[in-house]
């Protein structure tokens, strides 16, 4: 025995629950543990998994008062940079470290050894008794391929019991289906691209940052269709050449079948994927393949930031301005900002790509904190779409209709030329409000301060905040009037009706996440649109992002004013970005694109910026306003939402909390105010907004305040949102 082997150790183990603290456990003799290892530990009356955060020598005399680690789990360890990242995110967002850890452990179901899937192969003798079902199975399985039971029963149109019967007879023989590799190695030399001079300069700039292998942030700004994706692929190629991994974050990863195909054309294989649509087993394998370094490139949703990369060499944040990067429940983090943090911790370059960057990133670039690469032109000199307005005051749609006569005419002409039209309306369902013509009754959600949205396709009234669903009654529930209920305002379903009336012959597709079939269906539909199979596409923001529809030449924005009227300080920026994106879908193929914005206020600065194409001016003015108001990125904001099952306790707590706030110079505590959405899921909500200068240590300030302030009792909860993106 060596001199050191009988040293006793203590480990501090962080568990994936909403606690900040790591707890100490004794390490049983003979168990080799290091920081980062995943372990099983007793935790209250139960056992839980956790991660060793720190390891130290036990004081002489041992640690007999501590419980012991039960076992080391069979899961990849969390390397030091990932642990630092978790600590950092927890500190920044004021979340318990355990809650952040939970996001990093969501992948594997630790210690459930990978269930081997059993398939069947036709090798045995024919069964004694042949039924039509059995015959179909045998016909389908002929050729001796290995099928999963499910696949074979689907193929033959029989129940799984028929398959089981044939296994009993020895006709089908069970056999393990070995999991394929999670991702083939992408080949940086698989294909090459000819770049324009402008693109090449950006490629060189990005490749250079990856070559240095140091942390840096580059804003890659290029108009829609300028080739940003092709350009950042070269940065990925450089990371691959160095034997490193690349993470590509995307806001709507589940819908980016087109992106995966493009990746395959460049690298010979698809990247690994990480999003909510990836099933349990595949998640586990992806997790392990990243930890071992086997998987090289992953395209993922924001949660991919917390994966255990073996050697991260590059992070790309595509459409960096997207709101979807902000997580609005649990740990309130912004994936773009945290990508920059992870990049710094891993010494990896970060690339932020967008046609319409956030003001935050623009300012960081202008101040020299970020590098700035520009692609001012569309690929192959294709012109930007021409953007015009339709003034709804003078060119009003017919009663109960939402398309102005001029838009309808332009749609007809576009289709005559064999080109596609996209109608954009960011409103799901049939109508945002239903009311009784007789007594004025409006349908409101019983749990939230919001109107119920009619969904004709589902024959229901739905709340978009809590998911409450009720049947649409035939009579008014308040006055019992018959046939008195009217839909107010348009949703995409109602728009589809109007389009079908105006163009009964047209092939129309409504793209909506509310249709059955989920992500798979949407992916197929988007491919069909790209292939030119539809003439008119109607959609919400699902259709606006990133897709390449070469036959699309006219974009009609049904309500360009939607979004401009909210009290959100980013309303103008958001609307500008959204409309720039959606109009940017037009004219990416061989025909010139046009976009028409229906608006009541054609002189609004956002509409003017879009029409003139002078986005510089818009950014300049918007940035100046932010600076004047001390709003991000020139100042810092935190929102506190105080909620309770009843209104009074929520309000009282919010007031008490406000009273205990210290307001040093330059710090403003605004509120409490009842939230615009005063009730969500039956919880009454009050908001406080803290506004400070940029250099101010907002986190310490909040931590001290909360520690000093009144403790929430009963069902009162205080949730803190640093850099809030939503203000409802
Ligand atoms: P962005 O991401 O800036 O909107 P994309 O990368 O999607 O632009 O490019 C728009 C279209 O032009 C895509 O079909 C893309 O494949 C094509 N493209 C861009 N640059 C090149 C290039 N250098 N060579 C070939 N095709 C390109
Ligand atoms: Zn609701």
Lowest mean pLDDT among 48-52, 66-70, 144-148, 610-614: 144-148
Please tell me the distance between residue 302's alpha carbon and the centre of ligand 1 in angstroms.
24
List residues bridging with 174 in a β-sheet: 120
Q: Is 303 left (phi over 0), alpha (psi -120 to 50) or beta?
A: alpha
Ligand 1: centre distance to CA 228 (Å): 7
pLDDT tens digits, 274-319: 988 787 778 888 988 999 999 999 999 999 999 999 999 999 999 9
User: Of all protein residues, whose CA lies closest to atom 10 belonging to ligand 1?
Assistant: 225
Predicted local distance difference test score (pLDDT) of residue 12: 97
**Index of the ligand 1 atom closest to the CA of residue 375:** 3
Q: Which ligand is nearest to the CA of 444?
A: 2
Q: Which ligand is nearest to the CA of 379?
A: 1
Which residues line ligand 1 at a C-beta cut-off of 6 Å?
A: 193-195, 199, 222, 224-230, 379, 548
Taking the centre of ligand 2 as the mean of its atom positions, its distance from the CA of residue 437, in whole angstroms, is: 23
The pLDDT value recorded for residue 175 is: 79
195 CA distance to ligand 1 middle (Å)? 10
Q: What is the pLDDT of residues 474-504, one digit of tens each?
A: 899 999 999 999 999 999 999 999 999 999 9
| Cα-to-centroid distance, 262 and ligand 1 (Å) | 10
Which sequence spans correspond to the domains of the chain?
9-104, 117-177, 197-380, 383-427+490-624, 635-722
pLDDT at 182: 62
Distance in Å, CA 469 to ligand 2 centroid:
9
Nearest residue (CA) to ligand 1, atom 18: 227
pLDDT at residue 98 tops 90:
yes
Percent of the chain with pLDDT over 70: 96
From the alpha carbon of 223, which atom of ligand 1 is closest? 3
Q: Is the distance from CB of 85 to CB of 341 less than 8 angstroms? A: yes
Position 180 pLDDT exceeds 80: no
Residue 2 has pLDDT above 60, yes or no: no
Written out in words, the top-level CATH class of the domain with range 9-104 is alpha beta
Among the atoms of ligand 1, which is closest to the Cα of residue 222? 3
Q: Please answer whether residues 39 and 13 qualify as being in contact, where contact means their C-beta atoms are separated by less than 8 angstroms.
A: yes
Ligand nearest to the CA of 262: 1
So what's the pLDDT on residue 142?
Answer: 81
Q: Does residue 31 carry a pLDDT above 80?
A: yes
Pocket test of ligand 1: the residue of 203, 206, 222, 227 to mutate, having most ligand atoms within 8 Å of its CB, is 227
CATH of domain 197-380: 3.40.50.300
The 10s digit of each residue's pLDDT in 65-91 is 899 999 999 888 999 999 999 999 999
Q: In this structure, which CATH number among 3.90.950.20, 3.30.70.600, 3.90.226.10, 3.30.930.10 belongs to the domain 635-722?
A: 3.30.70.600
The residue contributing the CA closest to ligand 1 atom 22 is 195
> Looking at 57-66, 160-169, 492-501, which range is the least confident one?
57-66
Tens digits of per-residue pLDDT, 545-559?
Answer: 778 899 999 999 999
pLDDT at residue 37 tops 60: yes
CB 428 within 8 A of CB 540: yes
Closest ligand 1 atom to 318 CA:
2
Ligand at minimal distance from the CA of 446 is 2
What pLDDT, on the 0 to 100 scale, is given for residue 663?
80
Atom 11 of ligand 1: nearest residue by CA position: 225
CB atoms within 10 A of CB 117: 13
Phi-psi region of 563 (alpha: psi -120 to 50; beta: other; left: phi over 0): left
- Which residue has a Cα nearest atom 9 of ligand 1? 227
Residue nearest to atom 4 of ligand 1 (CA): 225
The residue count for the chain = 728
**Cα(130)–Cα(141) distance, rounded to whole angstroms?**
15
- In the predicted model, what is the mean pLDDT of residues 421-427? 95
pLDDT tier at 569, thresholds 50, 70, 90: confident
Mutational pocket test of ligand 1: of 230, 232, 581, the residue with most ligand atoms within 8 Å of the beta carbon: 230
Residue nearest to ligand 1 atom 15, measured at CA? 227
Q: Kindly give the distance from the C-alpha atom of residue 548 to the centroid of ligand 1, in angstroms, as a whole number.
A: 9
670 forms bridges with which residues in the sheet? Answer: 689
pTM, full prediction: 0.86
Enter the DSSP assignment of 113: P
Distance 227 CA to ligand 1 centre (A): 4
Q: How far is CA 579 from CA 272, 279, 319, 419, 621, in A?
A: 31, 34, 14, 21, 18
Name the average pLDDT for the chain: 90
For the segment 100-138, what is each residue's pLDDT rounded down to a tens digit? 999 998 655 554 544 556 788 888 788 888 888 998 888
Residue 243 in this model has a pLDDT that exceeds 60: yes
Which atom of ligand 1 has the smallest separation from the CA of 229? 6
- Check whether 572 has a pLDDT greater than 80: yes
Q: Region 140-147: what's the mean pLDDT?
A: 79
Cα 646 to ligand 2 centre (Å): 16
Phi-psi domain of 80 (left: phi exceeds 0; alpha: psi -120 through 50; beta: other)? alpha
CA-550 nearest atom, ligand 1: 14
> How many angstroms separate the alpha carbon of residue 557 from the centre of ligand 1?
24
∠ CA 147-152-154, nearest 5°, is 140
- The answer to whether domain 9-104 and domain 635-722 are alike in fold is no
Burial class of residue 323 (count of CB atoms within 10 Å of its CB; 0-12, 13-18, 19+): middle
CA of 290 to the centre of ligand 2 (A): 39
Tell me if 219 sits within 8 A of 372, measured CB to CB: yes
Largest CA distance in the chain: 93
Residue of minimum CA distance from atom 20 in ligand 1: 227
Q: Which CATH class is domain 383-427+490-624?
A: alpha beta
Question: Strands 635-644 and 683-693, how do they pair?
Answer: antiparallel
Distance of CA 394 to the CA centre of its chain: 39
Token pair of 574 as six digits: 């958001």
């Amino acid at each position: 025995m060596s001199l050191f082997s009988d040293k006793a150790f203590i480990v501090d183990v962080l568990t994936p629950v909403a606690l900040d603290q790591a707890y100490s456990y004794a390490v049983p003799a003979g168990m080799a543990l290091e920081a980062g290892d995943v372990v099983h530990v007793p935790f209250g009356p139960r056992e839980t998994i956790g991660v060793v955060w720190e390891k130290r020598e036990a004081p002489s005399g041992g640690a007999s008062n501590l419980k012991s680690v039960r076992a080391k789990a069979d899961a990849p360890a969390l390397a030091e940079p990932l642990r630092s990242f978790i600590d950092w995110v927890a500190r920044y967002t004021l979340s318990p470290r355990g809650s952040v850890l939970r996001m990093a452990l969501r992948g594997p179901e630790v210690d459930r050894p990978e269930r081997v899937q059993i398939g069947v192969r036709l090798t045995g003798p024919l069964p004694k008794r042949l039924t039509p079902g059995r015959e179909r199975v045998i016909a389908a399985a002929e050729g001796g391929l290995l099928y999963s039971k499910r696949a074979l029963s689907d193929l033959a149109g029989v129940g799984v019991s028929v398959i089981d019967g044939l296994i009993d007879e020895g006709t089908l023989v069970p056999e393990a289906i070995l999991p394929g590799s999670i991702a083939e190695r992408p080949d940086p030399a698989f294909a090459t691209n000819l770049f324009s001079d402008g693109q090449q300069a950006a490629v060189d700039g990005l490749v250079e940052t990856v070559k240095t292998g140091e942390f840096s942030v580059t804003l890659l700004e290029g108009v829609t269709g300028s080739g940003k994706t092709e350009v950042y692929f070269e940065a990925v190629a450089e990371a691959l050449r160095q034997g490193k991994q690349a993470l590509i974050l995307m806001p709507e990863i589940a819908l980016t079948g087109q992106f995966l195909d493009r990746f395959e054309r460049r690298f010979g294989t698809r990247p690994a994927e990480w999003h909510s649509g990836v099933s349990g087993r595949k998640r586990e394998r992806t997790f392990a393949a990243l930890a071992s370094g086997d998987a090289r490139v992953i395209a993922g949703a924001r949660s991919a930031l917390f994966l255990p990369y073996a050697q991260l060499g590059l992070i790309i944040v595509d459409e960096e301005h997207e709101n979807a990067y902000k997580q609005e429940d649990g740990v309130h983090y912004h994936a773009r900002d945290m990508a920059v943090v992870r990049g710094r911790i891993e010494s990896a370059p970060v690339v932020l790509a967008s046609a319409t960057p956030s003001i935050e990133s623009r300012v960081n670039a202008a101040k020299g904190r970020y590098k700035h690469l520009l692609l001012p032109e569309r690929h192959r000199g294709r012109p930007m779409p021409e953007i015009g307005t339709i003034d709804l005051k003078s060119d009003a749609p017919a009663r109960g209709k939402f398309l102005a006569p001029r838009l309808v005419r332009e749609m007809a002409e576009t289709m005559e030329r064999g080109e596609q039209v996209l109608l954009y309306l960011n409103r799901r369902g049939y109508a945002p409000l239903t009311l009784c013509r007789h007594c004025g009754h409006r349908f409101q959600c019983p749990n939230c301060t919001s109107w119920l949205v009619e969904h004709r396709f589902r024959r229901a009234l739905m709340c978009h905040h809590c998911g409450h669903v009720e049947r649409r009654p035939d009579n008014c529930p308040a006055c019992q009037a018959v046939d008195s209920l009217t839909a107010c305002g348009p949703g995409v379903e109602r728009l589809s009706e109007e389009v079908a009336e105006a163009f009964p012959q047209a092939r129309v597709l409504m793209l909506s996440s509310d249709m059955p079939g989920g992500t798979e269906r949407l992916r197929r539909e988007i491919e069909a649109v790209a292939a030119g199979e539809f003439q008119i596409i109607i959609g919400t923001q699902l259709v606006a992002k990133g897709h390449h529809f070469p036959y699309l030449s006219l974009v009609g924005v049904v309500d360009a004013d939607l979004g401009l009227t909210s009290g959100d300080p980013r309303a103008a920026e958001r609307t500008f970005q959204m409309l720039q994106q959606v109009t940017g879908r037009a004219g990416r193929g061989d025909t010139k694109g046009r976009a028409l914005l229906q608006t009541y206020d054609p002189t609004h600065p956002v509409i003017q910026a879009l029409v003139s194409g002078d986005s510089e001016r818009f950014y300049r003015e918007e940035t100046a306003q932010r600076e004047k108001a001390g709003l991000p990125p020139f100042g810092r904001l935190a929102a506190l939402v105080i909620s309770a099952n009843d209104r009074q306790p929520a309000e009282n707590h919010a007031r008490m909390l406000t009273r205990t706030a210290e307001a040093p110079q330059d710090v403003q505590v605004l509120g409490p105010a009842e939230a615009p959405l005063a009730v969500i899921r039956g919880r009454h909500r009050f908001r406080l907004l803290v506004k400070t200068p940029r250099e101010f240590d907002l986190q310490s300030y909040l931590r001290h305040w909360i520690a000093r302030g009144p403790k929430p009792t009963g069902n009162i909860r205080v949730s803190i949102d640093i850099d809030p993106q939503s203000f409802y």
